[in-house]
């Protein structure tokens, strides 16, 4: 733990692929962590590492100064907040909820109201980076909310990520940035998959195409990392499951609709994900839209 950081009593709700890795890093940083997950067996690894396992979100939040949530979607957050033994019932006055999940803009705005009317604090801090980046405490965190609340959470955010960007005082601004980012990532995957299919059918090795492009104009992690996944056709097990990707395209679409911004690319990406889910099943990574692109080009996969 850094010189400035003090051990805090915190709660953590949601121990999926991302939540488990993040909560482990908070424990390793020396904090006292109470964890809760809907399916209790997923708390075993955390318990073994020294976490206290709570029976309800309320129990994980009571007496804690900061509580994190990392849940799949808006409905999950809603359920965890509102149930009788939920987070809103357990979080003390003045305590802070840091919402790491990728949720919609309107849901984040509503979450602010729910907390403020109870004297509780709320910030959105969605993350970029897959479970391997979470495990390595290398997430990129996009935070928004009152500066004093982000300051309170900053030592904990430092323990789970490489950098925290602050994008505004209204929490949902962070969700908007995160959704925009995921739209851009999926657009890059689709564009790469199309170019790679074109190369392969034309007798050029897709690996060579990628080497040329990622060493020149497209020298960015998103092209290098997802390019490798497409090349190796590593779509299972999912690191970021396709249904969650579809959820994000829907949430980006809702934000675009509310702001009256036509996003025709977004509609196309949504269709590609739906087709991929129909053909490949629910358990593939979102980058499996590359499989759909390849098959539609008549390539043998
Ligand atoms: P995941 O492995 O599917 O985990 C989802 C978590 O949400 C689990 O703890 C699950 O509990 C819980 N949950 C779902 N519905 C619930 C409900 N109704 N009530 C209570 N808990 C519920 O997903 P993940 O990959 O960790 O993703 C979590 C969030 O991070 C999502 O918003 C995702 O978009 C975002 N994200 C993911 C990645 C990535 O690469 N995976 C990267 C950045 C951001 P159970 O165990 O009981 O099912």
Tens digit of each residue's pLDDT (9 = 90 or more) over 150-166:
999 999 999 999 999 99
245 lines ligand 1 (CB under 6 A): no
pLDDT of amino acid 173: 98
17 lines ligand 1 (CB under 6 A): yes
Q: What is the 137 CA–ligand 1 centroid distance (Å)?
A: 18
Q: How far apart are CA 132 and CA 301, in angstroms?
A: 27
Query: Burial code of 49-68, b = ≥16 C-beta within 10 A, e = fewer?
Result: eebbbbebbbbbbbebebbb
Q: Residue 1 pLDDT > 80, yes or no?
A: no
List pLDDT tens digits, range 86-145.
999 999 999 999 999 999 999 999 999 999 999 999 999 999 999 999 999 999 999 999
For residue 19, the ligand 1 atom closest to its alpha carbon is: 26
Instruction: For residue 85, give Cα distances in angstroms to 61, 117, 120, 213, 232.
Output: 10, 18, 16, 52, 45
Q: How far apart are CA 282 and CA 226, in angstroms?
A: 19
Q: In what order do the strands lie in the sheet with 139-143?
A: 127-128, 139-143, 161-166
Q: Which fold has domain 9-170?
A: Rossmann fold (3.40.50)
pLDDT of amino acid 2: 45
Asked if 250 is an active-site residue, the reply is no
Q: Mean pLDDT over residues 6-35, rounded?
A: 97
Ligand 1 atom 30: the closest Cα is on which residue?
101
83 lines ligand 1 (CB under 6 A): no
Ligand 1 atom 40: the closest Cα is on which residue?
130
Residue 232, token pair as written in the block:
């190796």
Q: How far apart are CA 264 and CA 287, in angstroms?
A: 20
Ligand 1 atom 11: the closest Cα is on which residue?
38
13 lines ligand 1 (CB under 6 A): no
For residue 238, the ligand 1 atom closest to its alpha carbon is: 41
131 lines ligand 1 (CB under 6 A): yes
CB 107 within 8 A of CB 72: no
Residue located via tokens 């190796």: 232
Cβ neighbours for 48, distance < 8 A, ≥ 6 positions apart: none
Instruction: Please report which confidence band the pLDDT of residue 4 belongs to, taking 50, 70 and 90 as the band edges.
Output: low
In this chain, the answer to whether the domains covering 9-170 and 175-296 adopt an identical fold is no
Report the percent of the chain where pLDDT is more than 90. 98
Q: Is the pTM of this model over 0.85?
A: yes
Q: Which fold has domain 175-296?
A: 1.10.1040
Q: What is the DSSP letter of 39?
A: S
Q: What is the 218 CA–ligand 1 centroid distance (Å)?
A: 30
Instruction: Please report which confidence band the pLDDT of residue 3 belongs to, taking 50, 70 and 90 as the band edges.
Output: very low
Q: How far apart are CA 19 and CA 17, in angstroms?
A: 6
Q: What is the 264 CA–ligand 1 centroid distance (Å)?
A: 28
Ligand 1 atom 27: the closest Cα is on which residue?
72
pLDDT of amino acid 221: 94
pLDDT of amino acid 112: 98
Q: What residue segments make up the domains of the chain, in order of their start?
A: 9-170, 175-296
Per the prediction, the chain carries an average pLDDT of 97
Ligand 1 atom 4: the closest Cα is on which residue?
16
Cβ neighbours for 29, distance < 8 A, ≥ 6 positions apart: 1, 5, 156, 159
37 lines ligand 1 (CB under 6 A): yes
185 lines ligand 1 (CB under 6 A): no
Report the percent of the chain where pLDDT is more than 70. 98
Q: What is the 71 CA–ligand 1 centroid distance (Å)?
A: 4
Q: Mean pLDDT over residues 49-53, rounded?
A: 97
160 lines ligand 1 (CB under 6 A): no
Residue located via tokens 């949504």: 270
Ligand 1 atom 19: the closest Cα is on which residue?
76
Q: Is 257 exposed, middle or buried (0-12, 13-18, 19+ CB in 10 A)?
A: exposed
For residue 73, the ligand 1 atom closest to its alpha carbon is: 32
């Amino acid at each position: 733990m850094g010189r400035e950081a003090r051990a805090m009593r915190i709660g953590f709700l949601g121990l999926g692929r991302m939540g488990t890795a993040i909560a482990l890093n908070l424990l390793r940083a020396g904090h006292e962590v109470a964890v809760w997950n809907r399916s209790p067996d997923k708390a075993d690894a955390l318990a073994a590492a020294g976490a206290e396992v709570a029976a309800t979100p309320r129990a994980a939040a009571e007496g804690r100064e900061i509580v994190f949530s990392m849940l799949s979607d808006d409905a999950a957050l809603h359920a965890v907040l509102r149930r009788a033994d939920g987070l809103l019932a357990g979080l003390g006055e003045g305590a802070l909820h840091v919402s790491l999940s990728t949720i919609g803009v309107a849901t984040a705005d509503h979450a602010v109201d729910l907390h403020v009317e109870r004297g509780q604090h709320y910030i959105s801090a969605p993350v970029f980076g897959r479970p391997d980046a979470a495990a390595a405490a290398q997430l990129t965190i996009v935070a928004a909310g009152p500066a004093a609340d982000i300051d309170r959470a900053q030592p904990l955010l430092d323990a789970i990520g490489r950098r925290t960007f602050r994008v505004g005082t209204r929490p949902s601004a962070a969700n908007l940035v995160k959704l925009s980012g995921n739209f851009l990532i999926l657009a890059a995957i689709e564009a790469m998959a199309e170019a790679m299919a074109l190369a392969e059918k034309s007798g050029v090795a897709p690996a060579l195409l990628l080497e040329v492009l990622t060493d020149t104009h497209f020298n960015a992690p998103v092209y290098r990392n997802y390019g490798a996944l497409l090349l190796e056709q590593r779509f299972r097990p999912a690191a970021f499951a396709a249904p969650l990707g579809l959820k994000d395209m829907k949430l980006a679409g809702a934000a675009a609709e509310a702001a009256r911004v036509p996003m025709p690319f977004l509609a196309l990406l949504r269709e590609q994900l739906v087709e991929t889910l129909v053909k490949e099943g629910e358990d593939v990574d979102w980058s499996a839209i590359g499989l759909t692109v390849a098959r539609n080009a008549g390539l043998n996969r």
